[in-house]
Chain A
Amino acid sequence: MNLESLYQDIILDHYKNPRGRALLSEPAGESHQVNPTCGDEVTVQVALDAAGNVVVGYEGQGCSISQASASVMSELVAGLAPAQGDEIRRAFVELMHTKGAAEPDEDVLGDGVAFVGVAKYPARIKCALLPWMALQDAEAKAGIGSDQEGTSAP
């Protein structure tokens, strides 16, 4: 059944037990993104800690894919230097555009590799990308990172 490649255990685990799901007390930047076709919503907040690493907060409501993606994202990029987070974000966006044919690098994407099956369902790619787009936008608003090229948003 194809559904098992879409709803991998890692995704279900993040959906049912989201990591780090809370908003920040003093965000430097915030982005609220919605998927207007289905009503998924996510708010991502960012700040930098004393060492210059990224602190991430988020909350949202929506389908399993969008909410699990937010959880995975926060776990992956929190505590990293902005440039490292950018690299992971770009790898995730690229993964979503492979139509499910890629063999994602677990060293870069961690639990994010579980989303490879999502890329086979065009209607769900937007769900998976939603928190990552919010992250990019929140960082831009906070003046964090040096990402000038932007992502290839769908």
Chain B
Amino acid sequence: MVQPIDVDRVRKDFPILERTVRDGRPLIYLDSGATSQKPLAVLDAERAFYETSNAGVHRGAHQLAEEATEAYETSRAAIAGFVGAQASDLVFTKNATESLNLAAYAFSNATAKAAHAPDSVDSRFVLSAGDSIVVTQMEHHANLVPWQEVCAKTGATLRWIGLTDDGRLDLSEIDSVIDETTRVVSVVQQSNILGTINPVDVLMARAHAVGALGVVDACQSIPHMPVDVEALGADLVAWSGHKMLGPTGIGLLWGRAEVLDAMPPFISGGSMIETVFMEHSTYAEPPKRFEAGTPMVAQAVGLAAAVAYLDEIGMDSVAAHEDELTGYTLERLESLRGVRIIGPRDNVDRGSAVSFVVDGLHPHDVGQFLDDKGVAVRVGHHCAWPTCRRFGVPATTRISPYIYNDRSDIDIAVEGIMAAQKFFGV
């Protein structure tokens, strides 16, 4: 049986939740889809690293350098283990956007190199006119704009799988959109704006059936449910540390070993080389090939502490807690007059990010009233502008809870919505 989360106990681990905002209101943080708060264990781990072991990693003959390297690589192994992966297949980046760019640039860089030296690159990454790249209509800009750029550089065409009115992928389109011209399929596992959880296995299977590579944006899934990256069927999986209780400044890219090995470097310079001559260089094996420059060691240590914290709670418990809270949020919002949920209204294959619009009120004004009650939510297009357009709204208000939220937080948010409706007379 899944152990329920003791929210009151969890909250004590997050110092920021003790503070007040706007004239002494207790902070109700419902914006974890943007970034999560950090428990003391994470803050302590970063501080302890700086206090005791700080040094450059993978260089230097002194003891501190050895300890820092050990801390960095042990953290990599712990974070990889959290998602069922091998440490050697996990690349540290500065954020998930960089991870997705790393994937996208493999294609544009290989295509550019192929024009001069076709034998120097793996042909799977070389694109030309007639090739297609497939995304969905619910992508975060981070998994859309980089692929638009790849298309602009290579002549490939961008295609996307459309959405149904209830915020699901229109799966009837899969076989026609992903076809023999498709070279990459890059999709989000859990939408940051709609909350939809997509059948990534089906999409990856279709990608591989037509010989395409598969990329998954797991930013909103890995923090909220158990994910085994090797079981997703993808070639590359990108996510960030700061949405899963970890520090900012660290992102992740997992790749199948054979695929990472075939990818050209993205950012180049120190640390990512094997040998360097004035005329040319050779590159290190993954993951180091993709980690140029001084890496984010303290952030890796902090993120390792975050996954240990999540492991102790148990990701099954996290998922069950959020599922219950999502059901309650949907029920409360649905009961409000003039409130429309943008995304699935049934709590099936659905994450805890719930977007909505209020008739007659702009999300900015809704957010202002929630803020006045101490409730932090996100308003705007959530870096998914085309998704907003699909649903005919300029923006939404989004409630995105996590392990430190409970039903009373949702109740206060609902009070804020009703206060805004009353004030504006809608």
Interface residues of A (CB under 8 A from B): 1-3, 6-7, 12, 37-41, 61-65, 121, 124, 127
A6 touching B368 by the CB < 8 A rule?
Answer: yes
B372 touching A39 by the CB < 8 A rule?
Answer: no
Query: What bracket does the count of chain B residues touching chain A fall in?
Result: 10 to 19
Main DSSP-derived SS at the B contact region? helix
A40 touching B364 by the CB < 8 A rule?
Answer: yes
Query: Is B379 part of the binding interface, using a Cβ–Cβ cutoff of 8 Å?
Result: yes
B368 touching A38 by the CB < 8 A rule?
Answer: no
Query: Is B380 part of the binding interface, using a Cβ–Cβ cutoff of 8 Å?
Result: yes
Q: How far is the CA of A124 from the CA of B368 in the complex (A)?
A: 9
By a CB distance below 8 angstroms, the chain B residues around A2 are: 22-23, 372
By a CB distance below 8 angstroms, the chain B residues around A127 are: 364
A-B contact pairs, 30 of them (CB 8 A): A1-B372, A2-B22, A2-B372, A3-B368, A3-B369, A3-B372, A3-B423, A6-B368, A7-B423, A37-B380, A38-B363, A38-B364, A38-B380, A38-B381, A38-B395, A39-B385, A40-B362, A40-B364, A40-B394, A62-B362, A62-B364, A62-B394, A63-B362, A63-B364, A64-B365, A65-B364, A65-B365, A121-B368, A124-B364, A124-B368
Distance from B31 Cβ to chain A, minimum over Cβ atoms (Å): 13
Distance from B369 Cβ to chain A, minimum over Cβ atoms (Å): 7
A39 touching B394 by the CB < 8 A rule?
Answer: yes
Query: Is B106 part of the binding interface, using a Cβ–Cβ cutoff of 8 Å?
Result: no
Q: How far is the CA of A1 from the CA of B419 in the complex (A)?
A: 12
Chain B residues 329-370 with CB under 8 Å of chain A are 362-365, 368-369
Please name the 4 residue pairs, one residue from A and one from B, whose CB atoms are nearest each other, closest first. A63-B364, A63-B362, A39-B394, A39-B395
By a CB distance below 8 angstroms, the chain B residues around A37 are: 380
B394 touching A41 by the CB < 8 A rule?
Answer: yes
By a CB distance below 8 angstroms, the chain A residues around B364 are: 38, 40, 62-65, 124, 127
Chain B residues 1-57 with CB under 8 Å of chain A are 22-23
B423 touching A38 by the CB < 8 A rule?
Answer: no
Q: A37-B380, A39-B394 are in contact. Are A64 and B423 (CB under 8 A)?
A: no
Q: How far is the CA of A2 from the CA of B364 in the complex (A)?
A: 16
By a CB distance below 8 angstroms, the chain B residues around A65 are: 364-365
Distance from A128 Cβ to chain B, minimum over Cβ atoms (Å): 11
Q: How far is the CA of A64 from the CA of B395 in the complex (A)?
A: 14
Q: How far is the CA of A6 from the CA of B394 in the complex (A)?
A: 22
By a CB distance below 8 angstroms, the chain A residues around B368 are: 3, 6-7, 121, 124
Known: A2-B22, A3-B368. 18 other contacts (CB 8 A): A3-B369, A3-B423, A7-B423, A12-B424, A38-B380, A39-B380, A39-B385, A39-B394, A39-B395, A40-B362, A40-B394, A61-B394, A62-B362, A63-B362, A63-B363, A64-B362, A64-B424, A65-B364
Query: Is B388 part of the binding interface, using a Cβ–Cβ cutoff of 8 Å?
Result: yes
By a CB distance below 8 angstroms, the chain B residues around A12 are: 424
By a CB distance below 8 angstroms, the chain B residues around A7 are: 365, 368, 423
